[in-house]
Structure 1
């Protein structure tokens, strides 16, 4: 995995700061990073977030660009957004994520933008798709989604468990292979997007599904990734 220095953040004008200050009087909030009042993410924590490096690694031979490493402040922001429906945190997360997606599409202008689908349980619990939310905030088009079909390959049995964390590495692979299907990508370049990439097993399955359907994954982009070292 390699890390690169991020692009400088876009400037924020005084009217934005004034509007946020007024909103803080009506709907009191505290910074999720440090607890400072009146901002979902204070100026100091926003600067800390913007200064963190981007990440890059390979998944199934395809370049993966991640806006951040999934740790510290980034992990807190992502969990607050996903688990507590803090959509007010989408803005700070969407900017850099959107830049990486735009770069991938600029490098491959005819590419299909394809979403690695969230788990059914997570989608039901949240009621929204974090990746679609972030792309919308970044003013990017809504991605198509891969289709979830089944757990495990033909004739495979997966050891019972409460989730991926309780499974061994082999069990995670077995539980994931054959679970996704791509359509409408024959002969097309594809940019895959996801929120958090951990082991890379799900992203690798998405790449496999696109290849089986006759497509070619030219880039993967994630909001955050867990250091694979």
Structure 2
């Protein structure tokens, strides 16, 4: 894996930065809101903000990650650790949509940069979340993060249930209990792409760990006659 603290001209991104000037009216508004809906900064515990100014600056200073998945470049806005991990888990498990903008800014910038470098007509496709997660949340975190980052109109790959592989549907273990080889075997053939024949695609997801699911997305697009020109994720686990 390679860390890029200073992207080259071809991959330059407008990194999110902390406010450079005081905003007393905004501080006052949050202070009043905190009296009725008390919150604490998820980074340091300071009151009245989901993410205080200092922690936003810390988040903005973190480098992005670049790796390869199925031979395709993957740009990740952050490494999946510490504060980033906390924010994503709060969003996905507790529906804390108030943390979407700090994460979505850089994520959206990377997607827009990928589209700018790709041929005209390139489409953005979302690797679908698990069915259980989608039912529990009632919203798609990746779509929300993209919207906060100024990217709309994304499509989605379709998830296909493949029985007989020992997964939850067959009474077997889930992904977390499988070995790496078992995860690959259980993931191949589970995604389908439609309407991408002859088209270029940017694939997006929230967190990439082993890269197995993203690689399955690449396979699905290729099988449907499309070409994945870039993968983009909110965060990547360093290997």
Specify the TM-score bucket, using the shorter chain as the normaliser.
over 0.9
Secondary structure of the corresponding residue to residue 40 of structure 1: coil
- Aligned mate of 2:81, from 56, 65, 71: 71
Aligned-residue offset at 1:10: 4.2
Aligned to 1:174: 185
- The answer (yes or no) to whether the contact 1:161–1:167 under 8 Å persists in 2 is no
Which position in structure 2 is the counterpart of 1:206? 217
Question: For 1:54 and 1:117, how far apart are their aligned partners in 2?
Answer: 23
Distance 1:19 1:149, change over 3 A: same
**Structure-1 residue corresponding to 2:35:** 25
2:128–2:159 contact (8 Å) kept in structure 1:
yes
The answer to whether structure 1 residue 99 and structure 2 residue 109 are counterparts is yes
Moved more, 214-223 or 168-177: 168-177
User: What does residue 59 of structure 1 align with?
Assistant: 69
TM-score, reference length from structure 2: 0.89
Q: Distance in 2 between matches of 1:226 and 1:220?
A: 15
* C-alpha deviation, 1:11, in angstroms: 5.4
Structure 1 unmatched runs, 5+: none
Q: How does 1:57-206 map to 2 (within 5 A)?
A: 57-108=67-118, 109-151=120-162, 157-158=165-166, 161-206=172-217
| Count of paired positions | 225
Paired residue for 1:4?
A: 4
In terms of mean alpha carbon deviation, does 156-165 or 50-59 score higher?
156-165
Output the CA distance in 1 between the equivalents of 2:135 and 2:15. 36
CA distance in 2, matches of 1:150, 1:20: 45
What is the DSSP-based 3-state SS (H/G/I as helix, E as strand, rest coil) of the residue aligned with 1:117? coil
